[in-house]
Amino acid sequence: MLEQMAGRSKAPESTAAAALGSFGRYAGPATLILSSLAGGSKHGYALTKDVESMAGVRLAPGTLYEALARLEGQGLIEALASEDRRRPYRLTAAGAAALRAHLDAQRQVADEGLRRLDAGLAPT
């Protein structure tokens, strides 16, 4: 039924709503990656698995590693000393703050949308 959609935003204000669309265009993989890292440092592959169980989303390898590179470049995550062949990443303070702002804004929009859906059971 639903096979295509996208959701992001700009951030003009200073409150939580200002965070929508903060990461890249409309934030997607990045939100999932940061949310996963909020639960502890992980390397890419483990991240994929965690995101999949957390959100039911399978991040393609290209999406994953490109997003990681971007996020690191933005200072939202940082690479840790690689153990084996794994390259673990950690959420930075800036990343945590950005994630919180983004999730707050996202939740507000989701709540408003659901409120409208429940209210307008009659189309206008």
Partner DNA sequence: CAGTCTATATCGTGATCCGATATACCGTCA
Partner DNA sequence: TGACGGTATATCGGATCACGATATAGACTG
Which residues are at the interface with DNA (CB under 7 A)?
4, 6-10, 21, 24-30, 43-46, 49, 58-63, 65-68, 70, 84-88
Q: How far apart are CA 23 and CA 35, in angstroms?
A: 13
Q: 19 or 27, CB closer to DNA?
A: 27
Question: Which of DNA, a second copy, none lies near 97, with the C-beta cut-off 5 to 8 A by kind?
Answer: a second copy
Do the beta carbons of residue 37 and residue 95 sit within 8 Å?
yes
Which structure tokens are listed for 20?
């929508």
Count of CB atoms within 10 A of residue 53's CB? Answer: 10
Is there binding between residue 83 and a second copy (CB under 8 A)?
no
Q: How far apart are CA 83 and CA 50, in angstroms?
A: 19
**Of residues 65, 68, 69, 76, which one binds a second copy by CB under 8 A?**
76
Q: 30 or 47, CB closer to a second copy?
A: 30
Is there binding between residue 43 and a second copy (CB under 8 A)?
no
- Report which secondary-structure segment, H or E, holds 73: helix 61-73
Q: How far apart are CA 89 and CA 51, in angstroms?
A: 14
Question: Which of DNA, a second copy, none lies near 35, with the C-beta cut-off 5 to 8 A by kind?
Answer: a second copy
CB of residue 58 to DNA, shortest distance in Å: 7
**Of residues 61, 82, 86, 97, which one binds a second copy by CB under 8 A?**
97
Residue 46: closest CA among 4, 5, 6, 89: 89
